[in-house]
Amino acid sequence: MTDELLQPTAENASPVAKPETISEPAPAEKPAVSATPAAIEVRGLSIGYGRRVVLENLNFRIEPGQIVTILGGSGCGKSTLLKHIIGLYKPLAGDILINGRSIVNANPEEKRSIMSEFGVAYQGGALFRSLNLAENIALPMEELTNWSRDEIRKRTSEKLALVHLDGFENYMPSDLSGGMIKRAAFARALALDPKLLFFDEPSAGLDPLTSDMLDNVILEIREKTHATIMMVTHELPSIFRVSDRVIMLSAEKKGVVDDGAPAYLRDHSADDYVRSFLSRGGTFNSNDDEPGAAP
């Protein structure tokens, strides 16, 4: 693998401008360079714990409206990268722009303001166990807006309906199944109608049918809210079903090894690791219905 792949730039990280080593252009995507700020822009980012560098010199842009999956082997730093992007950790170097605003260099007040512009659904749901489902969804609205109680109640019902959990308002998180907790987490992430959503392992530990239902929910959310969605997941069927783009990380190379539409990368990536990783789940039909499929 060449250094270009180890140290991707803003240009080569886009699915259109592929890294030099990939001979054919990636299809099905529009040019990355745009007058409007990217939903997420990562510039020269290095992250790690203490002195241990996990990923270095990452550069990529995620355009508004895309569903992007961060993919890679276990321990390659996917979740760590996500936690840096959402501002929970401070990077070793580089910058992260959310809708054009730096979350790395923001003061605490600005950072809270940037954070309130996106929604996050955590791997385990992270619902507050002392609150029922409706209270969990209503919490960001109660804390961060001046909406009336009726308005909050109405919006809570809408969000629960969006994830097919209407009727479960008074249930406690401990009374819900794994799939319901994930959907509730989606609903809470959507509470303030953010244009940017982060999902950490949305279908981890769920049976195939529940995973499939969650994929439908994600696609519905995108269709109804036009939000940009960044996911971290290992579930190949989900990736092929919902992702427009995959950013593939490698622990060995401490960076992005490839970046593009999932079906395209599976069939045409210049990197053996990427091709074998994406093919491992068996045969995935790259038909035209798949958002990430090559034409």
Which residues of the chain form contacts with another protein (CB under 8 A)?
83, 86-88, 112-113, 115-116, 118, 120, 122-124, 126-130, 139-140, 143-144, 188
Closest distance of CB 120 from another protein, Å: 5
Would you state the structure tokens that stand for residue 172, as one six-digit string? 């406690």
Within 13 A of 186's CA, how many CA atoms are on the CB side? 32
Give DSSP secondary structure letters for 177-228. -HHHHHHHHHHHHTTT--SEEEEESTTTT--HHHHHHHHHHHHHHHHHH--E
CB of 292 to another protein, least distance (A): 27
3-state SS, one letter per residue, for 80-139 = HHHHHHCCCCCCCEEEEEECCEECCCCCHHHHHHHHCCEEEECCCCCCCCCCCHHHHHHH
Count of residues making up the chain: 295
Q: What are phi and psi of 3, to 5 degrees?
A: -65, -30
CB of 122 to another protein, least distance (A): 4
Radius of gyration of the chain (CA): 19
Q: Largest alpha-carbon pair distance within the chain?
A: 58
Shortest distance (Å) from residue 17 CB to another protein? 31
User: For residues 199 and 277, which CB has a smaller minimum distance to another protein in the complex?
Assistant: 199
Nearest-approach distance from CB 132 to another protein, in angstroms: 12
Q: Residue 208 burial by CB count (10 A; 0-12/13-18/19+): exposed, middle or buried? A: exposed
Between 109 and 150, whose beta carbon lies closer to another protein? 109
Answer for the pair 17, 61: CB distance below 8 angstroms, yes or no. no
Closest to another protein by CB, 30 or 128: 128
User: By C-beta, is 118 or 284 nearer to another protein?
Assistant: 118
Nearer to another protein, 143 or 223 (CB): 143
Q: Cα separation of 65 and 230, whole Å?
A: 10
Choice between 100 and 124, CB closer to another protein = 124
Task: Name residue, tokens 């593009």.
Answer: 260
Residue placing its CB nearer to another protein in the complex, 190 or 257 = 190
CB 262 → another protein: shortest distance, Å? 27
Q: Please state, in angstroms and rounded to a whole number, the distance separating the CA atoms of residues 232 and 3.
A: 25
Q: Which is nearer to another protein, 10 or 106 (CB)?
A: 106
Min separation Cβ 233 and another protein, Å: 16
Shortest CB 280 distance to another protein, Å: 28
